[in-house]
Amino acid sequence: MKVRFDDKTQAIFVSLCVLFIKALGKTIRFRFNDPHRVRENLPPHPYIFAFWHRYILLMPVVYKIYASLYAGGYPLTVLISRSRDGEFITKVIERFGLSVTRGSTRRLGHIAFRQLITKLKEECCDVAFTPDGPRGPRGEVKPGILYLSQMEGLPIIPIRLEYRRCWTLNSWDRFVVPWPFTSCTIHVGKPFVVPRNEDLMHSTASEEMLKSALGPVD
């Protein structure tokens, strides 16, 4: 998606998007599917939340619900690309009271990675990732999320949304827009930490585990 507006037009469009997301979110009936009993068994701790890019629309709403039930009150930072599209998405996300770290999952060894490490140590925050963002390929886990878990010992919690009724757009990620007044099941996967001795330069068990937990993307 290409978004190229002047500042005033962009500000208006951001406000409209925020209103749309909030209004749509209020009509959705959410429920959790937590077969691993994450809520009962995990202590308060910063986590990495992972979900496919196609589900990003209502994730600010989902995280607010999740945090009220599961999390330990930690702030959330979202990794967003440095593209022009990323600038627009950043403004939308910040309107939900969430912070943003700008960078790419493909280049986490540089500025974005250091920023994330600093935030984790200074603010004790959760981190949200779209492993196949910002431009795909769809359903491909880029290594940044795995490196962060491995280096900092942070558990990855896979999140998958299942809408009863939704539109699927003809975009690279097959972007999902739920119907108003439909229901949504939030599937909470089993948390895991990438082992220190795992070689992430090649296809790994952790990568396959995450892909399986996040579900199909077709």
pLDDT digits (tens, 9 = 90+) for 55-104: 999 999 998 887 777 655 677 888 887 777 778 888 999 999 888 887 66
What is the model's pTM?
Answer: 0.89
Strands 48-50, 126-129: pairing kind: parallel
Cα 124 to chain centroid distance, Å, stands at 17
User: Which DSSP helix (H) or strand (E) runs through 94?
Assistant: helix 84-94
- Give 122's pLDDT tier (boundaries 50, 70, 90): confident
- Please state, as a whole number, how many other Cβ atoms lie within 10 Å of the Cβ of residue 92: 22
Instruction: Sort 49 into a burial class: Cβ within 10 Å, 0-12 / 13-18 / 19+.
Output: buried
Name residue, tokens 């220190």.
Answer: 196
CA quadruple 167, 10, 28, 181: dihedral sign:
negative
CA distance 13 to 125: 29
Residue 133 has pLDDT above 70, yes or no: yes
CA distance 118 to 92: 23
Question: pLDDT, tens digit, for every residue of 150-201?
Answer: 988 999 999 999 999 999 999 999 999 999 999 999 999 999 999 999 988 8
Structure token pair of residue 162: 């299942």
Structure token pair of residue 75: 């702030």
